[in-house]
Structure 1
Amino acid sequence: MGTGAAVAAALFWEITIPDADEAASEKKSKQKSRVLFMRVLRLFRPDLPLLLEDWSSCHWLCYKSDLSYSNLLMVCVLKGEMFIPFYTGKVIDILGNHYQANEFSMAVIFMGLFSLGGSVCAGGRGGLLLCAVGSFTCRIKLKLFETLTKQEIGFFETIKTGEITSRLSKDTKSMGMTVCLNVNVLLRTFVKTVGMISLMMSLSWKLTFLVLMETPVAGVIQNVYDTYYQRLSLAVQDAMAHANDAANEVVSNIHVVRSFNAEKHEANRYDQRLKTIHDLKTRRDTVRAIYLLVRRVTGLVMQVLMLYYGRLFIQRGQMTAGNLVSFIIYQSDLGDNIRTLTYIFGDMLNSVGAAGKVFEYLDRKPEVSTEGTLAPDQLQGHIQFSQVNFAYPSCPAKTVLQDLTLELKPGQMTALVGTSGEGKSTCASLLQRFYEPQSGEILFNKEPLKSYEHHFLHKKIVVVSQEPVLFSGSVKDNISYGLKDCTDKDIEEAARKANAHDFILQLEKGYDTDVGEGGGQLAKSERQRIAIARALVRQPQVLILDEITSALDDDSEKKVQQALAQCPNQTLLVIAHRLKTIERADQIIVIGKGKVQERGTHQELMDKKGHYYRQRTKLFTNEPSQ
């Protein structure tokens, strides 16, 4: 009656009395948590057939059968756990009344069998569930990684590396572990609780109703605890992400830290982040400690009441001493199970805090679309910038390009010149569709750049940067990076054009030599030539060279220029400061303040004696003209 009255009062309160603003906010947060939790369960869909499949489905593959066997194991576990207290009471009654050896032996044998079988099945089922968690974690990590790699470059400039790695390494694991194990515990505990209540009712229905009166009290305590604990758990996750970000930033830029003698400063900054984490964890653990204290006090009060009324029932002959012992054991387990049920509901909502962070990335649509479909068989390297305006996402108030209009003609070499920060490299980034201009249009072969299929575009427009990036692996892997149908002949031909073939053969394993992390096993000029080979093997229609000759000697540069000259239909966009490179250009475009200030050949611009002429000594090296 007490439980029914409490439920009715809760429903009346929920329906008739409106929530305060803070309460409404908390309620909305919990509803969002429930939605997230259901999304996580849907991600477990490949494993759900394994959990629900009948044990007879032996024709399934091994990994698809693990959790169907775990269902069978769960039944064995629950039977063993539920009947042990029952036989314990029978043993006590046999010993207390008329001892019969056969009944005593059978009761002890059944207790041993149930205990042994339950232990073995529990261990087997736990192991199989951990395998399922591992499978889910790998799957969600891959899904998140694929989503991250599809985001635009501006996303990575505004999001810290530490936060991304934290989502990949910790939050994905937390999603799989807490949600899957909580569902497992919830199902097992619910079935076990129903079975225990039925057995307790058979022993004494009066004591059973007395014990169940604890349920609404435990529910209220759990609800209050969940509200505060979830809020603090989310704060801890954010603080840990910030601490990881600070550590990654220092490690990746340690030479700058050392150069400015800022080791102590960075240590103090990291210490502040750790203190924040410690304070939040202390508050969270304090809330948990208070919750455990209150929960155990209520359990103790209920045990005292149960013993008091149990003694009265024994005196009145309504139950035996053995029945009371069995009931006490059941009550102890039942109390833990009910508290577990109420705790699991809250913990499942708490666990999706990490899932919410992951889903933010999974749901994010790239601002630079990659849904183009155009991939013509015949293509000329004709590029047009038409009144392009652009500002970087990380600094939207600063306009880098203003009404920029220029043209790159097929088969010609165009050089962009100007002081640093005027927009030269930005033009190259926009051609690769790293960003989307705020206004204006970029045309490739008279079609909008965004209309082209993503992979096709990046095979036709290739850039070689001043600081080339190589990946761990062999020289061959780096030259053919991202290509599936690249032959050894194509790789060697591209290496010859980039003047890299000779030095590659001198390496220990030739083209199979490992370049090390970031290409650290090679000199800068060697990395540059491999990067040029990586670009040339794609046979691009538009090749962007961003100060690539800075690390090459004169002989290597000359050979690279000769190789590039062998591609008459290829459009070259050169961003360079070396005078002899720029002077050979068919067109030189001077960019200043995000606009085209001058254009023409080297001699035409020198004759004008304008920006190009005045800034020549500032923009270029003092090398003699060729």
Structure 2
Amino acid sequence: MSGTLQHTLLPYVFVLTFDAILWLLAWLLLITNSVGVTWLWCYRLVCWGILHYLAQLINIENGQTVLTRWVAALCLTSPAYEAGKTLGLFNSSNNCTVPDVGMVVLYVASASMACLLWEWGFPDKANGDNGKEKKKQEARALLMRVMRYSAPDYLYLAAAFLFLTLTALGETYIPIYVGKVIDILSGTYDHNGFLWAIGLMGLYSLGSSLFGGLRGGMFMCTLCRLNKRVRHMLFQNLMRQEINFFEENKPGSLSSRLISDTDKMGRSVAMNVNVLLRSLVKTVGMLYFMLGLSWELTLLACVEMPLVAALQNNYNKFSQDLTQQLQDCQAETREMASEAIGAVRTVRSFHAESQELGRYEEALKRMSHIKRRKGIYSAVFLLLRRMVTVGIKVLMLLQGRVLISTQQLSMGSLLSFVLYQKDMATNMKHLVYIYGDMLSTATSSVKVFQLLDRKPKMKEEGSSAPQQLKGKLAFHNVTFSYPSSPDIQALKNVTLEVGAGKMTALVGPSGGGKSSCVSLLQRFYEPQEGEVLLDGKPLHFYPQQYLHSKMAMVSQNPVLFSGSVRYNIKYGLKGCSDEQVEEAAKRANADNFICKLEDGYNTDVGECGGQLSSGQKQCIAIARALVRRPQILILDECTSSMDVNTQEAVQAVLNGAEGQTVLVIAHRLQTVERADHIIFMDNGEVLEQGTQQQLMDMKGQYYRLKEKLFHAD
């Protein structure tokens, strides 16, 4: 035995020795064992005072409160039990006697078990590891927050709790009448008593089944409503986040939080609370009946509870860690598979199937290893728990045989007790397991709450929404770095203007900062320095919804959604008629190929528009922008995959857009030559700007770039 363990146990052994001496004095002072309950209370209160004084003299680091609490339970268990016998709470003689040695041992055991259960369920903050205690407190706070999300369903929960209580009461009475049926059949047969017992047993069984079904239905209804509510709130908050948030968090991980973790949050309230309350109500009722049948067997049965609780508690610690690792591994595997399948064309073109298969297999191996460890822990725990359960049951049957032989217990009562004891062990297991699982579930919902509480790292949008918008854009001394690369400046003190109702072209080599300007115009990011203005006001003065209703963008690689062509053209636009959709498609020169599709405008474009060519997707994207009739139109290499005829048709539409501000980013198209204003950018800076003729006369970098890229046109 280690020195620490000796230091911990010696005070308890010392107090227990003094208590044994005090019991010995009681036996020596009394010639007869018959005493009054009042005398026993007075004597044990005096013993409590003496032992409490001794416990105070003993200085135990981080354990003084536990020792004094154990002393109180040790001294007051015997008079409390004798008082219960006097009041008729227990099926025993009402004669109060000085307990014999066996009874004293049972009192010590029951008091110790009660203190162990108390310390396990409600540990002192000063006694435990501060880090672990802090985690438990955080988990409890999270659990309470999850439960507060169920507040709108209080009527459903109240009905569920009522049905739960009725179910537990019905199930608690069944073993009593099973025992009565056995006593009637094993003794003198009483036909009326037999029918009465069978009838009540059937009534309680039917009632518990009926109320159990209603209870489950109400809890499941609550679970569905809670999941819907939390998922709606989470998805709504995710849609409000800045673009950089989605670059830092991969779609697979966010989908896992939205689906898997929110479901676990719901189970922590609907399912776990269901089992927890049912087990708690049944445990209290069964303890009452068990004490009425035999207090000796009840004390013996109570020995099993702390042992199983200790085993379950240790198992929960390992299981929670492994469960968290398994969740992370599953999210990684799901994300890996989604990424490979979504980019199957790229994987196929680079002949990387074996590489992706190897990555996926490694992830599966890690997940299999975690599952194997979890299975081993589970098997060892089940073996130890079964050994404890079988051992206690054998001792109970031996003690039951003694009670039957002394006619203190009938065979039917013993059967009822065994049934109660079996249910009691199951309920205690549920209580311990569900408590740990609820904390684990609450812990796993930390990331969900973090996403729910997260505020977008953007300036708060204003309320400016004028009826008429000129469409003048300006950059004033804008310096910008992407959050993923804060040390690299994508824009360096950029100042430029995009005239209202005019066409402006941004040109320059790749990486010059053109797309960064577009990202700032759409408020995907905020500049670190300077301001981006619309009609003289910073962009954050306008509501996002208003801003994007007045501004439309078509990118080089537009994203389409699974659904019909019509759905993609009027995506996000309410009140858009079919005539408007077809008119926009004609302006984008998309109507010809759309009509040739199998179902025309109702043809499904497939996932991410996979059923269409790149040029067709660009045409639909342009139609999607034109149908909104935006005041500001941004085109980022939007015709790079089109044929010559389609490019010329789109350019004609753009040239005829009167009063519309158009910003074009292009390398090869003749659209740049028709622009009212051309801005040349390189390395995040504005190097040259002016009209086509002015820049050509300067014979600077724009002239050289045009000679290189546009000469073929």
Fold shared, TM-score > 0.5 on shorter chain: yes
Counterpart of 2:475 in 1: which secondary structure?
strand
Alpha-carbon distance, 1:316 to partner: 3.0
Pick the aligned partner of 1:137 from 227, 230, 247.
227
Structure 1 residue 315 corresponds to structure 2 residue 421: no
Amino acid at match of 1:446: G
Instruction: Kindly indicate whether the alpha-carbon contact (under 8 Å) linking 2:157 and 2:219 is maintained by their aligned counterparts in 1.
Output: no
Alpha-carbon distance, 1:347 to partner: 1.1
Match of 1:570 in 2: 660
Amino acid at match of 2:712: E
Q: Distance in 1 between matches of 2:268 and 2:125?
A: 35
Match of 2:157 in 1: 51
**Mean Cα deviation higher: 422-431 or 279-288:** 279-288
Aligned-pair identity (%): 48
Counterpart of 1:574 in 2: which secondary structure?
strand
1:442-481 counterparts in 2 under 5 A? 442-481=532-571
Match of 1:61 in 2: none
Q: Distance in 2 between matches of 1:247 and 1:303?
A: 50
Instruction: Kindly indicate whether the alpha-carbon contact (under 8 Å) linking 2:172 and 2:285 is maintained by their aligned counterparts in 1.
Output: yes
Pick the aligned partner of 1:162 from 252, 273, 278.
252
Instruction: Kindly indicate whether the alpha-carbon contact (under 8 Å) linking 1:179 and 1:351 is maintained by their aligned counterparts in 2.
Output: no
Instruction: Kindly indicate whether the alpha-carbon contact (under 8 Å) linking 1:391 and 1:397 is maintained by their aligned counterparts in 2.
Output: yes
Alpha-carbon distance, 1:370 to partner: 5.8
Counterpart of 2:553 in 1: which secondary structure?
strand
Q: Distance in 1 between matches of 2:125 and 2:623?
A: 73
Instruction: Kindly indicate whether the alpha-carbon contact (under 8 Å) linking 1:73 and 1:124 is maintained by their aligned counterparts in 2.
Output: yes
Q: Distance in 1 between matches of 2:398 and 2:472?
A: 93
Instruction: Kindly indicate whether the alpha-carbon contact (under 8 Å) linking 1:465 and 1:547 is maintained by their aligned counterparts in 2.
Output: yes
Alpha-carbon distance, 1:3 to partner: 4.6
Alpha-carbon distance, 1:171 to partner: 2.0
Amino acid at match of 1:623: A
Q: Distance in 1 between matches of 2:582 and 2:346?
A: 38
Structure 1 residue 497 corresponds to structure 2 residue 587: yes
Match of 1:28 in 2: 134
Instruction: Kindly indicate whether the alpha-carbon contact (under 8 Å) linking 2:231 and 2:258 is maintained by their aligned counterparts in 1.
Output: yes
Match of 1:60 in 2: none
1:120-199 counterparts in 2 under 5 A? 120-199=210-289
Q: Distance in 1 between matches of 2:283 and 2:119?
A: 24
**Mean Cα deviation higher: 231-240 or 162-171:** 162-171
1:477-488 counterparts in 2 under 5 A? 477-488=567-578
The normalised TM-score by structure 2 is: 0.80
Q: Distance in 2 between matches of 1:176 and 1:396?
A: 39
Q: Distance in 2 between matches of 1:184 and 1:439?
A: 55
Alpha-carbon distance, 1:576 to partner: 0.7
* Deviations 1:138-193 (CA, angstroms, capped at 9, x unpaired): 33333222222222111111112221222233222232235421110111111111
Q: Distance in 2 between matches of 1:568 and 1:501?
A: 23
Q: Distance in 1 between matches of 2:348 and 2:395?
A: 68
1:614-625 counterparts in 2 under 5 A? 614-618=704-708, 620-624=709-713
Q: Distance in 2 between matches of 1:281 and 1:294?
A: 20
Pick the aligned partner of 2:381 from 291, 294, 297.
291
Q: 1:3 to 1:342 in 2, by over 3 A?
A: farther
Counterpart of 2:151 in 1: which secondary structure?
coil
* Deviations 1:37-95 (CA, angstroms, capped at 9, x unpaired): 1222122223232120xxxxxxxxxxxxxxx3x45543443233212211121122222
Alpha-carbon distance, 1:112 to partner: 3.2
Instruction: Kindly indicate whether the alpha-carbon contact (under 8 Å) linking 2:165 and 2:281 is maintained by their aligned counterparts in 1.
Output: no
Q: Distance in 2 between matches of 1:16 and 1:432?
A: 52
Q: Distance in 1 between matches of 2:272 and 2:495?
A: 60
Match of 1:55 in 2: none
Match of 2:694 in 1: 604
1:235-314 counterparts in 2 under 5 A? 235-314=325-404
Counterpart of 1:404 in 2: which secondary structure?
strand
Alpha-carbon distance, 1:432 to partner: 0.5
**Mean Cα deviation higher: 396-405 or 301-310:** 301-310
Q: 1:35 to 1:75 in 2, by over 3 A?
A: closer
Instruction: Kindly indicate whether the alpha-carbon contact (under 8 Å) linking 1:234 and 1:353 is maintained by their aligned counterparts in 2.
Output: no
Counterpart of 1:550 in 2: which secondary structure?
coil
Pick the aligned partner of 1:408 from 493, 498, 518.
498
Counterpart of 2:429 in 1: which secondary structure?
helix
The normalised TM-score by structure 1 is: 0.90
Q: 1:122 to 1:7 in 2, by over 3 A?
A: closer
Counterpart of 2:639 in 1: which secondary structure?
helix
1:251-400 counterparts in 2 under 5 A? 251-369=341-459, 371-400=461-490
Q: 1:107 to 1:18 in 2, by over 3 A?
A: closer
Q: Distance in 2 between matches of 1:402 and 1:331?
A: 77
Match of 2:65 in 1: none
Instruction: Kindly indicate whether the alpha-carbon contact (under 8 Å) linking 2:634 and 2:663 is maintained by their aligned counterparts in 1.
Output: yes
Q: Distance in 1 between matches of 2:358 and 2:594?
A: 46
Q: 1:3 to 1:163 in 2, by over 3 A?
A: farther
Q: Distance in 1 between matches of 2:611 and 2:507?
A: 33
Counterpart of 1:466 in 2: which secondary structure?
coil
| Structure number with higher relative contact order (C-alpha < 8 Å, ≥ 6 residues apart) | 1
Q: Distance in 2 between matches of 1:6 and 1:167?
A: 41
Counterpart of 1:558 in 2: which secondary structure?
helix
Counterpart of 2:505 in 1: which secondary structure?
strand
Match of 1:438 in 2: 528
Amino acid at match of 1:276: R
Structure 1 residue 231 corresponds to structure 2 residue 321: yes
Q: 1:597 to 1:365 in 2, by over 3 A?
A: same
Alpha-carbon distance, 1:352 to partner: 2.3
Instruction: Kindly indicate whether the alpha-carbon contact (under 8 Å) linking 1:464 and 1:535 is maintained by their aligned counterparts in 2.
Output: yes
Q: Distance in 2 between matches of 1:377 and 1:386?
A: 25
Q: Distance in 2 between matches of 1:301 and 1:371?
A: 69
Counterpart of 1:47 in 2: which secondary structure?
helix
Q: Distance in 2 between matches of 1:358 and 1:336?
A: 32
Alpha-carbon distance, 1:573 to partner: 0.8
Instruction: Kindly indicate whether the alpha-carbon contact (under 8 Å) linking 2:479 and 2:529 is maintained by their aligned counterparts in 1.
Output: yes
Q: Distance in 2 between matches of 1:496 and 1:292?
A: 71
Pick the aligned partner of 1:222 from 301, 312, 318.
312
Amino acid at match of 1:321: M
Match of 1:58 in 2: none
* Deviations 1:95-136 (CA, angstroms, capped at 9, x unpaired): 232222222233233333433443344345334433432333
Alpha-carbon distance, 1:582 to partner: 0.9
Structure 1 residue 39 corresponds to structure 2 residue 128: no
Q: 1:11 to 1:500 in 2, by over 3 A?
A: closer
Amino acid at match of 2:156: L
Instruction: Give unmatched runs, 5+ long, in structure 2.
Output: 1-76, 78-108
Q: Distance in 1 between matches of 2:173 and 2:328?
A: 46
Instruction: Kindly indicate whether the alpha-carbon contact (under 8 Å) linking 1:163 and 1:242 is maintained by their aligned counterparts in 2.
Output: yes
Larger radius of gyration: 2
Q: Distance in 2 between matches of 1:214 and 1:605?
A: 91
Alpha-carbon distance, 1:7 to partner: 5.2
1:545-584 counterparts in 2 under 5 A? 545-584=635-674
Q: 1:14 to 1:129 in 2, by over 3 A?
A: closer
